[in-house]
Amino acid sequence: MKVILAQIAPSLGDAERNLKIHLEEIRRAERAGADLIVFPELSLTGYLLQDLVAECAMEPKTSPLLRRLEKASARVAVVAGFVEQGPGISFYNAAACFVKGKLAHLHRKVYLPTYGMFDEGRYFAQGDVFRTFEAPWGRTGILICEDFWHLSSSWLLAQEGMELLVVATNSPVKEIKAAGAPTGQAAWSRLGQVVAQFLTCYVVCVNRAGGEEGWTFAGGSFAVAPSGKLIGEARQLRADRLAVALPPGPLRQARTTSPLLRDEKLDLVRRELGRIVSSRYKQE
Q: Which residues are catalytic?
A: 41, 109, 145
Q: Is 281 exposed, middle or buried (0-12, 13-18, 19+ CB in 10 A)?
A: exposed
Size of the chain in residues: 284
The dihedral formed by the CA atoms of 154, 155, 160 and 164, expressed in degrees to the nearest 10: 40
Q: Residue 84 in contact with residue 59, Cβ under 8 Å?
A: yes
| CA–CA gap between residue 246 and residue 140 (Å, rounded) | 13
User: Residues near 135 by Cβ (< 8 Å), separated by ≥ 6?
Assistant: 36, 77, 97, 99, 104, 164
Q: Is 23 exposed, middle or buried (0-12, 13-18, 19+ CB in 10 A)?
A: middle
Concatenated DSSP letters for 37-50? EE--TTTTT-S--G
User: Please, what is the end-to-end C-alpha distance for the chain in angstroms?
Assistant: 54
Q: Residue 12 in contact with residue 49, Cβ under 8 Å?
A: yes
Cα 281 to chain centroid, rounded: 31
What are 182's strand-pairing partners?
Answer: 176
Residue 182 DSSP label: B
H or E stretch covering 78: strand 77-86
